[in-house]
Amino acid sequence: MTHRTVRWSLAMLVVAAPLLRAQSADDALDHAVSVWSKVKTARATFEQTVTNSLTGSSATAHGEFQEQRPNRVSIRFTDPSGDRIVADGESVWVYLPSSAPGQVVKHAASDQSAIPLGITGEFLTDPRRRYDVSAAGTGTVEGHAAHALTLVPKAATQRSFDKATIWVDDDDGLIRQFEVVESSGVTRRVRITSLDINVPVERAAFAFKPPTGVRVIDR
């Protein structure tokens, strides 16, 4: 191979590199959507950090997540202990005694905004129709190499956030971390510390009975 050929080959690689990265991000989204379409159940543990840019405050929580598609979700916080969010197929119950003692808020099952921790479904249901998607680099989450993608809701889409960034595992296509920026100035970052799909889940996890003496607020 001549020096001129080598220089030409290197030049072509430099030009092609941005295209390869863009294609990799596009492939990451397609992979994630394909994997999620085959998910029936999911179990996970997570760390959630909520930051408020207006007040400068930040809080970190930990918990366990179970999901049985299409409409049953259980979020049980271990820190702060006792906080729960349950979608039982008919209603979404939000019980947060650590911040709102003495009450539970009951939402319609269709109100997905009441579930702040859907592992992947909100981002991977027809994403190209609902969001403008762009590459946001690469990184490592809990030892998993991942592509980051930014999702901005389109004007015709009902917005539950202004922008989201998801980190898609390069190997298995699962979302390992996501960050949601809300118009209120709140940023919610969820890091998945363990995740298993299509495994047995606990039926009792998707049932919620308001504790005695707790006021139920219908929304």
CATH of the domain at 78: 2.50.20.10
Q: Is there a domain that residue 5 lies in?
A: no
Count structural domains, the chain. Answer: 1
Q: Is there a domain that residue 15 lies in?
A: no
Q: Is there a domain that residue 136 lies in?
A: yes
Over the stretch 52-70, which tens digit does the pLDDT of each residue have? Answer: 988 889 999 999 999 999 8
Percent of residues, the chain, with pLDDT higher than 70: 83
- What pLDDT does 13 receive? 31
Q: Is there a domain that residue 187 lies in?
A: yes
Determine the Cα angle at 104 with ends 101 and 106, to 5°.
Answer: 160
- What pLDDT does 15 receive? 34
**At 157, is the pLDDT very low, low, confident or very high (cuts 50, 70, 90)?**
low
Q: What is the spatial distance between Cα 51 and Cα 196, in angstroms, rounded to a whole number?
A: 28
pLDDT (average), residues 190-205: 95
Q: Is there a domain that residue 147 lies in?
A: yes
Q: Is there a domain that residue 9 lies in?
A: no
- What pLDDT does 18 receive? 37
Q: What is the spatial distance between Cα 200 and Cα 50, in angstroms, rounded to a whole number?
A: 30
Q: Is there a domain that residue 11 lies in?
A: no
Q: Is there a domain that residue 144 lies in?
A: yes
- What pLDDT does 76 receive? 95
Over the stretch 98-133, which tens digit does the pLDDT of each residue have? Answer: 989 999 999 988 776 666 555 667 788 889 998 999
Question: What is the extent of the structural domain holding 40?
Answer: 22-218
pTM, to two decimals: 0.81
Note whether 151 and 164 are within 8 A (CB).
yes
pLDDT tops 90 at residue 161? no
